[in-house]
Structure 1
Amino acid sequence: MVQITGYKVFEKENGDLFFSLIVQGGVEAVVSKQTGKTYLTARTARVSCTFDEAMCKSLVGTSLPGTISKIEVEPYEFTIQETGEIIQRTHRYEYMSDEDAVLTKNLHREEVL
């Protein structure tokens, strides 16, 4: 299960607004690469939606079936909001329904030989 914890407003080039919901998974323990110590965190992801701001506000606190998965991507720069530090990442987090998570886990892409 994931929980909707907020929403974010974006403006298109033409001035129209659109929204995405911020979803957060459960608590998980992670070992720091720098210190080797364990800390607790929760994965978050943004999910595009067709809702207006009033609907987005009303959905905060709602639980949805699914998980937030770590997806490998091409390297990109990421700014840590708390410190302003710019780091390079090779993953992003994506919301997946329970059905999508099962398919992703059990199906493998065909490799080119």
Structure 2
Amino acid sequence: MVKIISFKTNQSEDGKEFCTLMVQGGIEAVKSKKTGRTYLTARKASVPCTFTKEVCETLIGTDLEGGIKRIEVEPYEYTVEETGEVIELTHRYEYLDDSSTIIQQNVIETQEVF
């Protein structure tokens, strides 16, 4: 289960404005690689939508079925907002509804042999 916590307006490559809902999963305990200490966090992801700003505002606080999964991607630079530090990441977080999660858990990747 995830909760809609906010939204942002963005502009597509062709100049059209659209909204992105920010969703957040439940609290999870994570161990710091630097200190070895446990801290609490919650995964967040953005989900593009076709809703207006007004509709997005009314959706804040709504729960959605599904979860947020860590997806490995090509390395990219990310600036930490609080400190301005630029770091390199190799993952992103993506919202998956329950049916997508079930499918992803049950798909076996195969490699074609010629």
TM-score range for the pair, normalised by the shorter chain length: over 0.9
What is aligned with 2:36? 36
Partner of 1:45: 45
State the Cα distance separating 1:105 from its structure 2 match.
1.6
Q: Distance in 1 between matches of 2:75 and 2:62?
A: 33
RMSD: 1.3
Return the letter of the residue paired with 1:2: V
> Corresponding residue for 1:63?
63
Q: Distance in 1 between matches of 2:93 and 2:103?
A: 17
- Change beyond 3 A, Cα 1:112–1:33: farther
Matches within 5 A, 1:1-113: 1-111=1-111
Q: Distance in 2 between matches of 1:112 and 1:91?
A: 27
Greater alpha carbon shift after TM alignment, 53-62 vs 9-18: 9-18
After TM superposition, which residue ranges in structure 1, 4 or more long, deviate above 4 angstroms?
Answer: none
Match of 2:25, SS?
strand
Gaps of 5+ in 1: none
TM-score by length of 1: 0.94
Change (3 A) 1:112 1:81: farther
Q: How many residues align?
A: 113
Structure 1 residue 12: Cα displacement: 3.2
How far did 1:16 drift? 2.6
The C-alpha deviation readout for 1:7-35, integer Å capped at 9, x for no partner, is 01112355431100000000000000111
The 2-side partners of 1:61 and 1:37 are apart by: 31
TM-score by length of 2: 0.93
Amino acid at match of 1:33: K
Instruction: Give aligned-pair identity as a percent.
Output: 51
Q: Which amino acid aligns with 1:103?
A: I
